[in-house]
Amino acid sequence: MKGRVTTKASVKWIPFLCVFCFALGILFSNRLWDSSAEPNGQQFLSLRRNEQELQVINDGSGTNKNLPQNKDVMNEVLKTHEAIQSSRSLDKSIAVLQTQLAESKSSQEMSLKSSAAVSTLSRDGSPKQKVFMVIGINTAFSSRKRRDSVRETWMPQGEKLVQLEREKGIVVRFMIGHRLDSEDEGSGDCPLPLSSLPPHCFLFLSLSATSNSILDRAIDSEDSQHKDFLRLEHVEGYHELSAKTKTFFSTAVAKWDAEFYVKVDDDVHVNLGMLASTLARHRSKPRVYIGCMKSGPVLAQKNVKYHEPEYWKFGEEGNKYFRHATGQIYAISKELATYISLNQPILHKYANEDVSLGAWFIGLEVEHIDDHSMCCGTPPDCAWKAQAGEVCVASFDWSCSGICKSVERIKFVHEKCGEGDGSVWSAVF
């Protein structure tokens, strides 16, 4: 009986003992956690980090057989990364170069504009007259009759010439240099032509160029009567037309602030109103070169007209020149004339003047305007066009590089192809 009672009592206490042990375990574990815990959960983080490292090690040990393949992949990744970095570096270099190029271009444009602004003063320090265009008529000492025929047809005279300049901004001048005295032409070892003179001759020629020869005095007398000459610091000669062209543009730029500068021969008929209207259509363009563009053959044979001594520069025999305006008449804008003036000493001269001018613009940002109204034929060609309402800017005969027998025929051309005396005065440009 006693044994049974004892067994029953101990069975009753089992649930209380379980609860007591559970509570004691919770209390003991909390104290153990509090005493061993790190601040801010650092111990927990360390345990997690260790677990991750063990996991990586385990993963790595299980995949050792794939290491060569992984290395190849990593190498490809590295190469791709390096290529991307190189591409970015190249892009940055290109961007820097583009910026430097833009700055250089802007600097050059500002330099040209500043030089144009400074050039508003003439050589004597007085303000330059601002005009629309300056026309230089190329003439020679022996061409008095040609000049008179031009004055009697398309070129105003006297007060009308002054009025044209004042009211319409159109300056028209015969351009001519100086002539060596006849006794000077064969002096010493400085013969003419001037294309290949020894260096010591230049001082002699510079002094002779301003000599008061008989022909120079004749031009001075003619100028005092008509007041329509532009004298150039240049020694006249057929083989010196390229040099004369450079000198004309330099002299004109120094004297007048014009939008356009025109060169024309004294055996060409010109309608001034049509010329002004044609140029006005291009006045918003900074660098224009206007004329009848051509590309003739490079003549290597000696003793022929228009022979080119430097033919070898243009490639194989039989090649043609680059496109350039025919020399009878052409026009260039202010920036191009200023460019010639500033670079005159280093601009190369070819045998033919029109080729030289075209060569000076090679490599520049120049717009070539091919305008065939500036190279019409003489009647009936220009007459038919005038009747159709397409009045020509200029007329001449290609076979003569000007109007054939211009002294006798230019009046006839003027009657048939002229725009009318009042056209230039009524023209709006």
Looking at residue 310, what is its pLDDT? Answer: 87
Q: What is the pLDDT of residues 108-120, one digit of tens each?
A: 555 544 444 445 6
By the 10 Å C-beta count (0-12 exposed, 13-18 middle, 19+ buried), 116 is classed as middle
Query: For position 1, what pLDDT does the model report?
Result: 45
* Rounded-to-integer distance, Cα 425 and Cα 429, Å: 11
Query: CA-CA distances (angstroms) from residue 8 to 4, 17, 18, 367?
Result: 6, 15, 17, 123
- Tell me if 236 sits within 8 A of 176, measured CB to CB: yes
Answer with the residue of higher pLDDT: 296 or 412: 412
253 close to 333: Cβ distance less than 8 angstroms: no
Is 373 part of a structural domain of the chain? yes
Residue 79 lies in a domain: no
Do residues 293 and 327 lie in contact, with contact meaning Cβ atoms separated by under 8 Å?
Answer: no
For residue 287, what pLDDT is reported? 97
Output DSSP code: residue 228: -
Q: Has residue 187 got a pLDDT over 90?
A: no
CB atoms within 10 A of CB 326: 17
Is there a domain that residue 402 lies in? yes
11: pLDDT strictly greater than 70: no
For the segment 53-77, the average pLDDT, to the nearest whole number, is: 53
* Residue 217 within a domain: yes
Q: Specify the pTM.
A: 0.68
pLDDT of residue 296: 87
Q: What is the reported pLDDT for 67? A: 46
Q: Inform me whether the pLDDT recorded for 361 exceeds 80.
A: yes
Token pair for 405:
């027998």
Q: How far is CA 140 from CA 237, 244, 404, 407, in A?
A: 9, 11, 17, 14
Provide the β-strand partners of residue 299.
307
For 186-218, give the secondary structure using H, E and C.
CCCCCCCCCCCCCCCHHHHHHHHCCCCCHHHHH
Tally of structural domains, the chain: 1
Helix (H) or strand (E) run with residue 85 in it: helix 67-118
The predicted pLDDT at position 303 comes to 83
In a domain, 312, yes or no: no
- Measure the CA–CA gap between 139 and 210, rounded to whole angstroms: 18
Q: Which of 283, 298, 276 is nearest to 374 (CA)?
A: 276
Which residue range forms the structural domain that includes residue 174? 129-179+211-293+325-426
Checking if the pLDDT of 90 tops 80, the result is: no
The predicted pLDDT at position 76 comes to: 66
Between 167-176, 200-209, 267-276, 305-314, the lowest mean confidence (pLDDT) is in 200-209
Which residue type sits at 404? C
The residue with tokens 């025999």 is 317
Inform me whether the pLDDT recorded for 244 exceeds 70.
Answer: yes
pLDDT at 208 over 50: no
Q: Which of 61-70, 258-267, 292-301 has the highest mean pLDDT?
A: 258-267
Instruction: Judge whether residue 146 has pLDDT over 70.
Output: yes
State residue 305's pLDDT score: 84
Average confidence (pLDDT) over 414-421: 94
pLDDT at 191: 47
Q: Give how far the C-alpha of residue 282 lies from the chain's centroid of Cα atoms, to the nearest Å.
A: 16
Confidence of residue 387 (pLDDT cuts 50, 70, 90): very high
The predicted model gives 396-418 an average pLDDT of: 97
Length of the chain: 429
pLDDT more than 90, % of the chain:
53
Q: How far is the C-alpha of 171 from the C-alpha of 262, rounded, in Å? A: 10
Instruction: Please state, for a pLDDT cut of 70, what percent of the chain lies above it.
Output: 65
Helices (H) and strands (E) in the chain, counts: 15, 9
Across the chain, mean pLDDT equals 80
pLDDT tens digits, 13-50: 677 777 777 766 666 555 544 444 444 445 554 555 55
| pLDDT for the residue 245 | 96
* Residue 122, in any domain of the structure: no
pLDDT tens-digit readout, 264-315: 999 999 999 999 999 999 999 999 999 999 998 888 888 888 888 888 888 8
**What was the pLDDT predicted at 69?**
56
For 397-407, the pLDDT digits (tens) are 999 999 999 99
Report the CATH number at residue 134. Answer: 3.90.550
- pLDDT at position 212, please? 67
So what's the pLDDT on residue 49? 58
In a domain, 329, yes or no: yes
Please give the pLDDT value at position 56.
46
The answer to the question of residue 188 being in a domain is no
Q: 74 pLDDT band (50/70/90 cuts)?
A: low
Distance CA 236, CA 221 (A): 18
Confidence tier at 179 by pLDDT (50, 70, 90): confident
* DSSP element (H, E) containing 283: none
Two tokens, residue 44 = 């927990």
